[in-house]
Amino acid sequence: MRPVVTLLSVFVLLPLAAAAQVYTWKDAGGRIHYSDQPPIEHGLDARKMGPMTSPPPEATAAARKQQAESEAEARKRRLQAKEAAGKSEKEKSALEERQKNCERARSALQGIESGQTRFRINDKGDREALDGEAREAELAGVRKSVADWCK
């Protein structure tokens, strides 16, 4: 129990010693002295050193404001970079999709132009071959798809 009381009293008295007044002066030999009491010799210029104080509140508020602004600026830059990365990803995926659709449209056009028989499902659910007019309409639609997707 005794060591605890001793340790506790040291922690209680330590801040008092830190807040004590400190004097500094130079003696005749040019040596600097620090003491808690002013010099005994008269004629020496002793300077009282007060305890360290915190900066004035308005300086702290200005520093906080500046820090908040810089953090907001950094957040804004990160968000812009993230958006740019997302935008480039979207553009990349859109380009890949466009290329796939272009390949499909060209393949369909090649099939129609090569003379392959094209079929469609009628109202009864049966497959029927496309005749001349329907084939021409299908060909025009596929050519339009090629023109749209393969720009």
**Residue-wise pLDDT tens digits, 36-48:** 777 777 666 666 6
Q: Identify any residues that bridge with 120 across adjacent strands, giving them in sequence order.
A: 128
Task: Give the model's pLDDT for residue 71.
Answer: 93
For residue 70, pLDDT beyond 70: yes
Tokens of 37: 């009491």
Confidence of residue 20 (pLDDT cuts 50, 70, 90): low
R_g of the chain computed on alpha carbons: 44
Exposed e or buried b per residue across 77-107, where buried means at least 16 C-beta atoms within 10 angstroms of its C-beta? eeeeeeeeeeeeeeeeeeeeeeeeebeebee
pTM for the model stands at 0.42
